[in-house]
Amino acid sequence: MQMLSSPRHALALSIALALSACGGGSSDEPLVIPAAPADQGAAEVVPLPAATAFVETIATNQRGDARYATLSTNAGVRVLGGFLDIWKPLTEIVDAGVSAPAVDGFPAVVASTWSGVPNDSTADGKVVNAAAHQANIDYVIKATANRTPEQAVQAYLDDRRGKGYSVTDGMGPLTNAWRTAAQQVTSITSVASDATSKLYNDTGNNTGVAGSANASFGSVVDLVNLVGTNASTEPAKRFYKYARPYRWSSSVQVLPALVPAKSSTPATDGGFTSGHSAEAVRDAVAMAYAVPERFQEMLSRGLELGESRILAGMHSPLDVLSGRILGQASAAANLADPANAARKAAAVAQAHTALMAATGTTADTFAAYAQSGTVANDRFADYAANKANYLRRLTYGFAPVAATNVTASVPKSAEVLLETRQPYLSDTQRRVVLKTTALPSGYPVMDDAEGWGRLNLFAAADGYGAFNGNVTIAMDASKGGFNAQDRWRNDIGGSGKLVKQGTGALKLAGANSWSGGTEISAGTLQGDSASAFGTGDVYVSGGTVVANAPTALKLAGKYTQLSGNTTLELDLGGSAAGSQGSLAVASTATIAGGTLRVKFANGYKPKAGEVLTVITAASLKGKFTTITVDGFANVTPSYSATSLTLAINN
């Protein structure tokens, strides 16, 4: 019988494979090592769409220039072209309240006669899809009739304050540090009772102080400002000429405190697309780029501000979701511009230096601090709620108006949006992440030819949605941040194979079903859900596998661990078979050596005399070279033909 002893809390003792442990389960037959999971072919590559790239033509997003007055010549209008399936404007030209002389062979723009007030004729445009249009307006009627007092306050603040200030509360525990470093201030802290109140017109500096005038944070403010370059919603408003929801229906209840904000010139005040929404999204994207430790929370805040425009009665869902599309595309175009490369790097570095100094954190503790908020002091602390709200705000419940099974496209340079959030991936891999997490096709406005409308950046931050071919993840822990440790929470499908390399640690927390197997050659791969490793074989040739699921980590195929620098770590939360952190292998578990380390989680600690079932398998072959058990100096392992148990002797 093998006894494990240690002078400290954990023991490592070599165990010869040929020596039988208590309970048997070994034989003198040579141990046959299974082959690693088969290669599944070249990694997936997402081609560039054939459509004209928004990122290459963003400078055409202008009004008052005859060269850029049409759907085909204006990038900001073109990216929202799906709206023509819902609404046909009076004229398909950027001409609402705009005129421009002829230039370079382009005809002069003559101001439209659009009144901005819907009527029963086609004189101001024509509804093409009555069901989608009616759903759009009905949504606002219902939302404004049922808004809560809290929503009313948020809608007011999001209307009157600058978007750059408002969305910073998506930073949670970092909000005050961010605003102080940026030197952002607002004079609007509550709801105005009338239009003459000082609370109505913001006299603060909503953006903050940029450039050299703010030595410690000016580059960060510069980053937020630069994503607004050529990002105006005015060309789209003046092309699509679609009225505000309260002009479509008197049943829309504009927030009383915002009635003075209603324009008296409807012919130049179209609702599609929402400027507040577009600006909030691109500001949120820039802040998420600078501080990716709050990536999903910032994206959630950007979309929340868009919904505030609906709750205020100022915009419709189609106005708002189109603002998301244009905001994301505009942010990506400016972030991807090679001329901004140095500015991006400076902003990311400066943001972390300043915020760590302000919060008393280090590179090792900053991420945890950024996520340390609670629902009491950070309304974005609930991941599940954020995810549900984000998904809801992507489509606002619209029924599809076209086929729902069209393969997703990924716009040129959209991968830049994940550059700091997934720094260990290549641009090619980030494009695959965007494709495999994209929304289904068919929703109104969202099926643009490039794919901007179908991007789900919240889901993309949680890693791949599917593995196709070989997916090799190489993480360098020495670079810190997400290079050292990350977690993927998507439900990963596909028939591909995952290969984990590098020194970093990757946690998998989804209900995964990819079938091509998993090979770990270096670093750490942690299973935080029962089906974290999909349905294929798991092969450990180097590095560490961690079982940290709330039940047993279930492997549908074989488990193979080679000798040498290999470790299986079980984070146990209970003593019964199938308990948290144990390993359950549906096929053969082959242990050619390496280390088994047992830790205890969630306050659990076994008592003397307990026998822990740590591994079960259809067939268990071989033994570990080394076993360590945290906190215990006298533990006896027993191998059987189908399990490994550990007897706690002290």
- Please tell me the distance from the alpha carbon of residue 622 to that of residue 599, in angstroms, as a whole number: 22
> Any bridge partners for residue 4, and if so which?
635
Cβ atoms within 10 Å, residue 642: 14
At 17, the pLDDT band (50, 70, 90 cuts) reads: very low
Dihedral sign (CA 260, 266, 269, 271): positive
- Please tell me the distance from the alpha carbon of residue 522 to that of residue 475, in angstroms, as a whole number: 9
Is the pLDDT confidence value at 287 over 80? yes
How far is the first Cα of the chain from the last one, in angstroms, to the nearest whole number?
A: 16
- Please tell me the distance from the alpha carbon of residue 586 to that of residue 615, in angstroms, as a whole number: 11
- 188-194 long-range contacts (CB < 8 A, ≥24 apart) are 188/157, 188/160, 188/161, 190/153, 191/152, 191/153, 191/156, 191/157, 191/257, 192/156, 192/160, 192/257, 193/257
Given a contact cutoff of 8 angstroms between Cβ atoms, the answer to whether 380 and 386 are in contact is yes
- Please tell me the distance from the alpha carbon of residue 486 to that of residue 233, in angstroms, as a whole number: 36
Which two tokens mark 59? 């400078």
Which two tokens mark 364? 């090792």
pLDDT score recorded for residue 633: 87
C-alpha distances (whole Å) from 34 to each of 12, 77, 556, 590, 591 are: 26, 57, 15, 8, 10
Is the pLDDT confidence value at 493 over 90? yes
Helix axes 317-336, 383-395, angle to 10 degrees: 110
Chain Cα centroid distance, residue 139: 26
Matching residue, tokens 């940029």:
210
At 142, the pLDDT band (50, 70, 90 cuts) reads: very high
At 123, the pLDDT band (50, 70, 90 cuts) reads: confident
pLDDT, mean over the chain: 93
Is the pLDDT confidence value at 544 over 60? yes
Output phi, psi for 583, to 5 deg: -120, 125
Matching residue, tokens 């209307």:
159
Chain Cα centroid distance, residue 240: 30
At 409, the pLDDT band (50, 70, 90 cuts) reads: very high
CA angle 39, 41, 43 (to 5 degrees): 115
Average pLDDT over residues 200-224: 94
pLDDT in tens, 335-368: 999 999 999 999 999 999 999 999 999 999 999 9
Burial of 94 (0-12, 13-18, 19+ CB in 10 A): buried
Select from 176, 175, 170, 178 the least CA-distant residue to 208.
Answer: 178
Burial of 574 (0-12, 13-18, 19+ CB in 10 A): middle
- Please tell me the distance from the alpha carbon of residue 442 to that of residue 501, in angstroms, as a whole number: 38
Is the pLDDT confidence value at 18 over 50? no
Pairing of strands 485-488, 505-508: parallel
- Please tell me the distance from the alpha carbon of residue 145 to that of residue 339, in angstroms, as a whole number: 47
Classified as helix, coil or strand, 249 is: coil
Any idea where the domains of the chain sit in the sequence?
13-39+467-648, 54-110+148-196+211-398+405-436
Is the pLDDT confidence value at 12 over 70? no
- This prediction has a pTM of 0.94
Q: What percent of the chain has pLDDT over 70?
A: 94
Classified as helix, coil or strand, 396 is: coil
DSSP labels, 218-231: HHHHHHHHHTTTT-
Is the pLDDT confidence value at 3 over 80? no
Chain Cα centroid distance, residue 165: 22
Is the pLDDT confidence value at 420 over 90? yes
Chain Cα centroid distance, residue 414: 13
HSE, side-chain direction, 13 A CA sphere, residue 313:
24
